[in-house]
Structure 1
Amino acid sequence: MFESYNVKPFFDEMFTAQGTAKPHYRKFYEKLQQFSEEELKEKHETAQLSFLRQGITFTVYNNNVGTERTMPFDFVPIIISPEEWDTIEKGMIQRTEALNRFLDDVYHNQKILEDGIIPRRLVEENPYYYAKQVQGINVPLKNHIFLAGIDLIRDEHGKYHVLEDNLRNPSGMSYVYQNRYVMRQVYPEFFNNHSVHALEHQMSYLHEAILDHAPKTTNDKPFAVLLTPGMYNSAYYDHVFLAQQMGIDLVEGRDLIVKDHIVYMKSIRGLKRVDIVYRRIDDDFLDPEAFREDSALGVPGLLDAYRHGNVAILNGIGNGVADDKAIYAYVPEMIRYYLNEEPIIDNVKTYLLDNPEEREWVLEHLEELVVKNVGASGGYDMLVGPHASKELIEEFRAKIIETPHQYIAQPTIKLSRAPAYQGEDFYPCHVDLRVFIMRGKNTRVLPGGLSRVALKRGSLVVNSSQGGGGKDTWVYREKDDRGEHDAKPSS
C-alpha cells in the first residue's frame, strides 16, 4: 500500500530515508498492513461521518458569507517518542515563561525596551499594545498567558522550530479531543498495543489553571465563566466544548453586568458574582466603554472592574503585542534576557523588512522566500515564493516597498511530511503541530496537541480555512503507565 509513497527530499515523520517504518511507528505500520483496501475506505468514510454527526464544524468566511465545514480528518497519527516530547515540553515551558515576562515588563517597567533589546517602536506602534487601557495593572500571579498555542514545524533534518506564537485566544483544543475520540471509535485496533498518553485529566488541569487566577477580592470558591461572541463565531464549537468539559458557564456579553466595579452573571436566581472571565472575544470588543464603542459583544464596565482588581480576564488584555510576527523575531533574545538561557527550540530565520539591508536582500530573492503580513493569520496575505506566479510576486514586491514594516520574510523550509489517506491511497503531506501550554500556579503542556496537515497534494498550507485537516497526535509514555484511558468527550 506504500509502494508509490516517496519520502525524499523531505523529513518524513513515519519513514526513514530508506523507506522503512521508524521504531516508534513500527507497531502502527504493522497494524495498518492488516487492513484491506475496502476496510481502509470504509473506516475513512466512517471517521468523516463521525465529525458530521457530532456537529464538529468551523466557519470559513469569504466575502462576508460564512460556510460551515467539518474538519477533514486523517487517520494516520503523528507519533512522538518520549525523548522528543521531553524536548518539546521543556522548550514550550521556557518560551511561554519568557513571553509572559516580556508582557509583564512592557506593561510595567519596560526594562527590555530601555536596554535596547527590542526596538521601542515595535511595541509602541503595535496595534495590539493597549498601554492606555492596561498599563500598570497587576494581574493575578503576574500571569498574562493562561493558555498559549505554539505552532511547531520540523525542517528537512527533523529539527523542530517555532513557527508562530498564539497568545491571545488560541483555538483548536477541542479538535485534539475529538480527533482522539474519533480515532478510538473507528480504529480501536490501533490502541490495543500502544502506550499513548491519555488526555482525560487535562481538562481538570485547564480548569485548575483558570481558578488559580482568582483575584484577591474573591471570598468564597471562585466562580469562572467562558465569554463567547456567540454561535456565529468560527470557533464556537471550541467554546462550547471547553465550557462543557470544565463544567463552567458559557455566557455572552448580554449575560453579564457590572455594578459598583464588580461583574455579575444574570441567572434565574438573580445576580451571581463572577471572579474570572475566560474570554474568547478579541480585546477590541471586550468593553464598549474602553475599546470599540460599537461593540455589541462585550460587557460595559468590564475593564473598570478589571482595573479595580475585582475580576481576572484570561488571557490578559494586550497579549497581541507579544505574538506579533515582527516581535516573534526577538523571542530568542527575550529568552536570553529574562531567563539567561539559550532557546531549547529556536525560531525560523526571520527577516524584518523595515531594515533597509534585509529588505533589499529579500526583494532580490522573493521567489525563494515566504512573506507574511505581521497582522494576518490563517494563511491569508501570504506569499510562498517558490509556488507563486510572477504576478503575485510583483504584487508583494509593491506591498513591501509601500509598507515594509507590515511584512516579514522567512526561508522556505522543507516542512516535514507524513502519510495521509483520504479514501484512495497513501500520499505524503506537509504537517505542523500546535502545542497547548496551560499556565496557572503550575505550567502543564497538553501531551500531543493538534497536528494539522496540508491535505491538498503538494500544498504547504495546513490551515483548515485553506483546505487543511487534522490528525490525532500520540505521545508515547513509559510502559508502566498503560492503565490510563481517554474519556469520551461529553456530547
Structure 2
Amino acid sequence: MTDRTVFSDYCMIPDSWDEMCADGSIRPQYQQVFETLNQLSASTLSGKDQLAGELFLNQGITFTVYSDNEGIERIFPFDIIPRIIPGHEWSHIEAGISQRLKALNLFLKDIYSRQEILKDSIIPAELIASCPQYAREVYGIKVPFDIFVHISGIDLIRGNDGTYYVLEDNLRTPSGVSYMLENREVTKRLFPDLLSANQVKMVNNYPLELYNILVSLAPRQLANPTVVLLTPGVFNSAYYEHTFLARTMGIPLVEGRDLMVDNHKVYMKTTMGLQQVDVIYRRIDDEYMDPLVFRPDSALGIPGILGAYRKGNVALVNAIGNGVADDKAVYAYVPAMIRYYLNEEPILPNVPTYQMADMDSREFTFRNIHNMVIKRTNQSGGYGMLMGNSATDHEINTMINSVNADPRNYIAQPIIKLSTAPCFLNNRFEPRHVDLRPFALCGPGGIKIIPGGLTRVALREGSLVVNSSQGGGSKDTWVLNNG
C-alpha cells in the first residue's frame, strides 16, 4: 500500500474546520509535512507509531482513566501527526490570552479586596457569594506583585468558520504541560528533519521559564531561595507530571508530611535539619492545603500554612482562591471583566453560555437540549457533563432533574463542532476533533505564553470529548516562525 492510497482515504467531516485541508487543497502550513508523509509507506508510519508508544512506555508516561472499572494506568495516547499553527494565527492567540489573563488577575485582586466589580453591578454579587470556590479565608491577603495566576492553561476550540473560542480557563492547578514537552521530544525522534525544516518554535524552555518565575516570587532576598513542588503523592493521576517538573527544574518534590510550620514560617524536613521554604509550587487543591482552616480531615496539606501565607513568609503558586475565576458560571462574565478592567474589547470570544439559574435560559436550554452541552460549574476533566446530541432519554431526564434541583451549579452551551486534524489510526489517516490548551506563565516581568501547547484529540470516531480522563489523546503542536 502506498502513502498516496493511505491519504486518498482521508475524508473531511462535514461542517467542521479541518486544520490541514481547505477546499480540496492543503493549507500552506501543512504543505511540507504533507509532502514528506506522502513519501512514506503505511508500514513506515506504522513503525513510527509503534516507536512512539514504546518511547512513552519507557519514559513511564502514563495516565489513569478513572472511569475504567479495571482502574489501570495506560500509556498516554499520542498521535504522531503534528497539529500545525501558522505564526499569524499564533500572534492572535497570544494577544487574546494575554488580555484575558490581565483581566482575570485584576478580577482576583479585586474580588479578594475592594470588590468594585460587584459594587458596580458588573457581576451579580450572589454569583460570587454562592461560588463554592470563593475562599473567604484568603480575603485581604496581599500576594507578591499582585499576581494570582502564575500558571494557566486556557482551553481553546475552533468553530466551523475557523474562529478560535475560549472554552474554559484553568487557573488553579492546570495539568498537561509535561505531555506537551514529552510530545515534542518524541516528535524529534520520529521526524527530526521536519522540525528544523518547518522553523518550528521551541517549547523546551518552559521548565526554566517557570523556575525563574518561582524564584522571583521569594519573600526573602536570597541568591538561591528554596523552592519546592508540593504533590498529593503517587496516587494522583498527574503524579508523573509532578515528578517530571520537579526533576527538570531541579527542585525538591515534597508531600505535606515533608513540610511543617513554625512561627509562621514553612520548613522542609531534611537529613541536615529544617530548611526554610520560600516558594511552594503546589499541585494540591485549596481545600486540602491547611487542615486548620479548610478540611480538617486532610492529610495532604500542612497545618498552619495559611498563617505563613498571610504573613507573607511563603509564596504559593498558584494563589489560593483562584477557583472563583474559573468557575464555569463566572466564565460567562470574563468578556465583561475585560471591558471593565482594561477598557478593551475581547480579542478571543467566549462560547455563548447560558446560566441555568436564569429561568429563561433554563427553558431555552431544555427546549434545545439535543443541540446543547450542559456542564457542572465546578467539575473538570469531562465529568458531570451531558452532550445533548448523543445522550439517551434517561440521561437527559436525569440531567434536567439535577439542573432543576441545583440550577446555580450548571451552565449550558451550544454544541460547537471542534475543528479536526489528521490522525494516523488503523494504518490510515482519519480526521479527529481537537482542542488546544496553551500554557501561560505570569511573573513580575509580564506574561509569557509557550508557543504551542497541548493539542488534545478525541480519539473515538465522532466524539467531541477530548479529555484524557475520558479516553482522549494528544499530539505535538507546532507553531511556525513564518506564516
| Aligned twin of 2:351 | 348
| Aligned twin of 1:91 | 96
* Contact residue 436 and residue 455 of structure 2 kept, 8 A: yes
Give the one of 246, 250, 254 matched to 2:253: 250
| Aligned twin of 1:376 | 379
Amino acid at match of 1:345: L
Q: Any idea what the Cα deviations from partners look like across 1:235-287, whole Å, max 9, x if unmatched?
A: 00111111111111111111111111111111111111101111000111111
| Aligned twin of 1:285 | 288
2:174 maps to 1:174: no
Gaps of 5+ in 1: 480-491
Give the one of 178, 185, 189 matched to 1:185: 189
Q: Any idea what the Cα deviations from partners look like across 1:148-181, whole Å, max 9, x if unmatched?
A: 1000000000100000100000000000010001
2:70 maps to 1:54: no
Distance 2:384 2:254 in 1: 33
Amino acid at match of 1:115: D
Q: Any idea what the Cα deviations from partners look like across 1:137-157, whole Å, max 9, x if unmatched?
A: 100010110101000000000
RMSD over aligned Cα atoms: 1.4
* Contact residue 417 and residue 464 of structure 2 kept, 8 A: no
**What is the DSSP-based 3-state SS (H/G/I as helix, E as strand, rest coil) of the residue aligned with 2:25?**
coil
CA drift of 1:187 comes to 2.3
Give the one of 14, 24, 28 matched to 2:20: 14
**What is the DSSP-based 3-state SS (H/G/I as helix, E as strand, rest coil) of the residue aligned with 1:317?**
coil
2:208 maps to 1:204: yes
Distance 1:344 1:120 in 2: 26
CA drift of 1:293 comes to 0.8
CA drift of 1:66 comes to 3.8
Distance 2:142 2:38 in 1: 57
Distance 1:85 1:192 in 2: 18
Amino acid at match of 2:153: G
TM-score normalised to the size of structure 2?
A: 0.96
* Contact residue 435 and residue 450 of structure 1 kept, 8 A: yes
CA drift of 1:30 comes to 0.2
CA drift of 1:59 comes to 1.8
**What is the DSSP-based 3-state SS (H/G/I as helix, E as strand, rest coil) of the residue aligned with 2:244?**
helix
**What is the DSSP-based 3-state SS (H/G/I as helix, E as strand, rest coil) of the residue aligned with 2:204?**
coil
Distance 2:314 2:408 in 1: 36
CA drift of 1:398 comes to 1.6
2:457 maps to 1:443: no
| Aligned twin of 2:3 | none
Give the one of 274, 279, 286 matched to 1:276: 279
* Contact residue 45 and residue 423 of structure 1 kept, 8 A: no
Gaps of 5+ in 2: 1-5
TM-score normalised to the size of structure 1?
A: 0.95
CA drift of 1:61 comes to 2.1
| Aligned twin of 1:225 | 228
Paired residues for 1:317-396 under 5 Å: 317-396=320-399
* Contact residue 44 and residue 423 of structure 1 kept, 8 A: no
2:469 maps to 1:465: yes
**What is the DSSP-based 3-state SS (H/G/I as helix, E as strand, rest coil) of the residue aligned with 2:168?**
strand
Give the one of 52, 77, 81 matched to 2:86: 81
| Aligned twin of 2:72 | 67
| Aligned twin of 1:488 | none
CA drift of 1:188 comes to 2.1
User: In terms of mean alpha carbon deviation, does 166-175 or 199-208 score higher?
Assistant: 199-208
Aligned-pair identity (%): 51
* Contact residue 453 and residue 471 of structure 1 kept, 8 A: yes
2:414 maps to 1:411: yes
**What is the DSSP-based 3-state SS (H/G/I as helix, E as strand, rest coil) of the residue aligned with 1:387?**
coil
Q: Any idea what the Cα deviations from partners look like across 1:269-318, whole Å, max 9, x if unmatched?
A: 11111011110001111111111111111111111111111001110001
| Aligned twin of 1:159 | 163
Q: Any idea what the Cα deviations from partners look like across 1:305-354, whole Å, max 9, x if unmatched?
A: 11111001110001000000000000000000000000010100000011
Residues 1:338 and 1:65: Cα distance change in structure 2 (over 3 Å): farther
| Aligned twin of 1:306 | 309
Distance 1:227 1:192 in 2: 36
Distance 1:64 1:424 in 2: 29
Q: Any idea what the Cα deviations from partners look like across 1:42-70, whole Å, max 9, x if unmatched?
A: 11111111111110012222489742121
**What is the DSSP-based 3-state SS (H/G/I as helix, E as strand, rest coil) of the residue aligned with 1:12?**
coil
**What is the DSSP-based 3-state SS (H/G/I as helix, E as strand, rest coil) of the residue aligned with 1:461?**
coil
Distance 1:325 1:366 in 2: 18
2:128 maps to 1:123: yes
Q: Any idea what the Cα deviations from partners look like across 1:7-63, whole Å, max 9, x if unmatched?
A: 2321000111x2211011100000000111111111111111111111001222248
**What is the DSSP-based 3-state SS (H/G/I as helix, E as strand, rest coil) of the residue aligned with 2:436?**
strand
**What is the DSSP-based 3-state SS (H/G/I as helix, E as strand, rest coil) of the residue aligned with 1:383?**
strand
Distance 1:436 1:301 in 2: 31
